[in-house]
A and B are shown apart, each in its own frame.
Chain A
Amino acid sequence: MTSGTNAHFDEMVDGQGNVRSAYDGYRTWYDDQDQRWLRAQNGRAESFFRRTGITFNVYGEADGEERLIPFDMVPRIISGSEWRRISRGIEQRVKALNAFLHDIYHKQEIIRAGRLPLNMLSQNDAFLQQMVGFNPPGGVYTHIVGVDLVRTGPDEFFVLEENARTPSGVSYMLENRETMMVMFPDLFTQVPVRPVQDYPQRLATSLANCAPPATGSDEPVIAVLTPGIYNSAYYEHSFLADQMGAELVQANDLRIIDGRVAMRTTRGYKAIDVIYRRVDDDFLDPLTFNPESMLGVPGIMDVYRAGGVTIANAPGTGISDDKAIYSYMPDIVRFYTGEKPVLDNVETWRCSEPDALKYVLDNLADLVVKEVHGSGGYGMLIGPTATKAEIKAFAEKLKAKPGNYIAQPTLSLSTVPIFTKSGLAPRHVDLRPFALVSPREISITPGGLTRVAMRKGSLVVNSSQGGGTKDTWVLED
């Protein structure tokens, strides 16, 4: 989709063409560089990513060619004070999410209080009966959360969605930084950028802190559970396992032995304390979830419920990724923290409500309509760029199953320059910071993954639809 106006907020340059203070240091450096050299460096970045094999497969593409996510070498820069507010907002939201998940799987006070309709749970496949009354080790549901933020003005940051199921992209955050440091080492001596490289260690610590107490391991054994090399995020799975010094297991490496989840090693079966799973709930346990699945570990849920293993993120957290639940997040934050949300939601119409549906149907050409269970930019309508026929067809789908959709205004996302053949050019971005939750603390890596729409005017940043990424800097100030 394209923005209707040029009134969007540019993060580097203000309306008068002055460079904003966060970008001062970078811009001074940039103006000093030889353009030809910069263009050559730009080409080097791609071969770096290819050699490293930071590639992904796009679902539904026949030839199965591996693709690169385009990398742009101009950093996205956030000032220290901006970041303090963002991270405070994320921490608040993540706390509320965990409290919410605990509540809905226990007393459901939010429903008794009339702040959330019961059908949000009862009619939701992501609500897992198996989790009712169960306390995950350390009380943590969402060990790793990616919160998608968009910016529309100097102080206007909005949460677009939460990713509490199996958020991905953190490897790009880390590789982007590494690439930048290889390509422009001098830049990092001139601009004080907060480091991100300790994320894998923090993740390992955070996961270890959530190990089940009953197993009594001094040094908990952690494994990353991947669907395998054909998964689009496989690179990330192997990257994180590697960086954490954890085993990268597949379901067929695992078996239940003496009430523990054990992996088949060359020395025999070895028990695992914490599983950082990168598979969906459905593929965890064929006995519990999906009898057709060849991918799960039969009996793993029984071990989990008996306290023999920690699964991160906990099964059943996916419900908080639901876009209908999202629309209640401001209430959820208030209900569990007693505070006003630091970060606002994007205005959202629930099509399940007759008035909202009417408004949405009348204004389809201006709205973005999303499936409540969808992700990755699939199955959505982007009103401003859709044809009349597409809008008409979508209206029918909407009327047939209104509860399946929410709608949001077309936001004027902020822009950050990218490097093009003809110099710097503004492109729309979003931001996915990553938060780690353990019983001891919530740790948020400064920055996160900036996704950028590489096409001029485009607002679609999803990598599955041609979006790229940038290194994201939080300044030390």
Chain B
Amino acid sequence: MLGRHANGIFWMFRYLERAENTARLLDAGLQIALTSGVEAADDEWRSVLVTTGQDALYSQSHETYSGMQVPDFMLRGRDNPGSIMQMVENARTNAREVRTSLTREVWETNNETWIALKSMLATPITERNLGDILPLTRRQAALVRGAMEGTMLRNEIYNFARLGTFLERADNIARTLDVKYYVLLPNISMVGSDLDNKQWEAVLRSLSGIRAYRWLNAGRMDARGITSFLLLDRRFPRSLRFCVDKLESNLRFLAEEYGAEGRSHEMVREAARELRETHVDEIIEQGLHQFITAAKTRAVEISNAIAEDYRFIA
């Protein structure tokens, strides 16, 4: 396939994943905003902005974090290139570029997502419609994923789509955990101590992991357990290890198809091996923030290596 199309598929699915993750973060934020005091709500909205790297831009045009200002900015802010609407628009633009690589079902569900969100996001966000928009975003993302699973040939196109999805998701898990780590644990000595359940619930909720975590841990909330779950669990589809395993298997498939490996294969194999062999206590001992920072840098390097190995750009 064309390198430009591989790039388009990769980014189409990165943008879709990013839109979905941003919706999950807002959803978790909304839960806190609805159940905590006004002050806690503002803190939470700010942390959502920090997680997505949109805080600086937001501050240029806003004085406070109150009310629906943050969700409005993150969903439909005109000057916000990271808004969910813009992500969905970018995903669609990429989909148009690579339309010949998509099945009709994938194209149509993705196009419907754009049509539905464009109309829902035409007016300002209120507490009332936010509760409709966020589930819609997640549902549409699930539909695109379902259409892909059900109709796409398991060839290189599929692999590039999956690489985009899991690289973005890995980056998002790292960001979420990193921000919460600072909010929740201002002091490193507090690692392993009792925690604000509500905040940790929000982390798990934003990664759709609350049910799975409770089931696995009999409902106990502790930083060590949650960190281990989100970074190292190989069964949870929104854990770092799960994402890296998926990167590895998709790259392996490509290597078999192409009969050749590149730098990206080596980097991902190494990352997967480390995650398999690392224990959560080592991570906490060496510093969660350092670990996550390294993981984020690695995600960027892997993305660049994939682009180079598969000639995404001339």
Contacts and interface: CB of A to CB of B under 8 A. Distances in A.
Contacts of B311: 264-268
Interface string B104-121: 100110011001000000
Interface of A: 50-53, 228-229, 234, 238, 241-242, 247-250, 252-253, 255, 263-268
A266 B2 contact: yes
Most buried by A among B4, B111, B112, B314: B4
B100 A248 contact: yes
Nearest to B313: A264
B55 interface: no
Interface in B1-42: 1-6
B151 to A, nearest CB: 14
B100 A241 contact: yes
Interface stretch (B91-99, B234-242, B268-276): B91-99
Contacts of B111: 51-53
B43 interface: no
Given A51-B111, A51-B115, A265-B311, A238 B2 contact: no
B181 interface: no
B93 A266 contact: no
A238 B314 CA distance: 21
A423 to B, nearest CB: 31
A51 B112 CA distance: 6
Contacts of B4: 250, 252-253, 264
Contacts of A50: 115
B93 A229 contact: yes
A241 B107 CA distance: 15
B2 A253 contact: yes
Given A51-B115, A268-B311, A242 B2 contact: no
Contact of B108 (A51, A229, A234, A250): A51
A253 B3 contact: yes
Contacts of A234: 96
A256 to B, nearest CB: 13
A229 B97 contact: yes
Interface in B245-295: 258
30 contacts: A50-B115, A51-B111, A52-B107, A52-B108, A52-B111, A228-B97, A229-B93, A229-B97, A234-B96, A238-B96, A238-B100, A241-B100, A242-B99, A242-B100, A247-B1, A247-B100, A248-B5, A252-B314, A253-B2, A255-B314, A263-B2, A264-B311, A264-B314, A265-B1, A265-B3, A266-B2, A266-B3, A266-B156, A266-B258, A266-B311
B42 to A, nearest CB: 36
B1 A266 contact: yes
Interface string B56-82: 000000000000000000000000000
A253 B6 CA distance: 12
B158 interface: no
Nearest to B157: A266
Task: Give the 8 A-B CB pairs with smallest separation, nearest first.
Answer: A266-B310, A238-B99, A242-B100, A264-B3, A229-B96, A266-B6, A248-B100, A241-B100
A230 to B, nearest CB: 10
Nearest to B259: A267
B107 A53 contact: yes
A253 B104 CA distance: 24
B101 to A, nearest CB: 9
Nearest to B159: A266
Given A266-B2, A267-B258, 18 more contacts: A50-B115, A52-B104, A52-B107, A229-B93, A234-B96, A238-B96, A238-B100, A241-B100, A242-B99, A248-B99, A248-B100, A249-B2, A253-B4, A264-B3, A265-B2, A265-B3, A266-B1, A266-B310
A229 B100 CA distance: 12
A263 B5 CA distance: 12
A255 B3 CA distance: 13
Contacts of B6: 266
A242 B106 CA distance: 14
Most buried by B among A53, A238, A263: A53
A121 B32 CA distance: 75
